[in-house]
Amino acid sequence: MTIDANLVAAIAAVVAAGVAIVAVLIQIGLARFSDSVENLWRFYDQWNGAPMLRGRPLAATSLLEGGDAAAIVDVLGFFELLGYMVRKAPGMA
């Protein structure tokens, strides 16, 4: 039984291609995870930012008293964006 050099080279090429595909898939997963963490920090910063800290109590008061609907727009917009991101990027949840 002899080993053909072309057969060995072809098998090595197929194995190398498979390893490369697996490496690319792993990198895609790591990039998605990194983006998810970055988005989480952005949402955290927005939620705890000065404009939202001022707007959240006003929105709560407006909801409880049936007052001005304009006071709750920023808070509802935040939750709308958060819900959109969670639905579009399941890895974030």
pLDDT digits (tens, 9 = 90+) for 14-34: 999 999 999 999 999 999 889
**CA distances from residue 24 to 10, 18, 21, 39, 84 in whole angstroms, order as listed:** 21, 10, 5, 22, 27
Look up residue 66 and give its DSSP letter.
Answer: T
Q: How crowded is the C-beta side of 44, counted as CA atoms within 13 Å?
A: 6
Ordered per-residue pLDDT tens for the chain, 93 residues: 677 889 999 999 999 999 999 999 999 999 988 988 998 999 999 999 998 999 899 899 888 888 777 778 889 999 999 888 888 766 554
pTM higher than 0.75, yes or no?
A: no
Angle between helices 50-65 and 73-88 (to 10 degrees): 110
Contact predicate 52/75, CB 8 Å? yes
Contact predicate 72/59, CB 8 Å? yes
In the chain, what are the domain boundaries?
A: 5-92
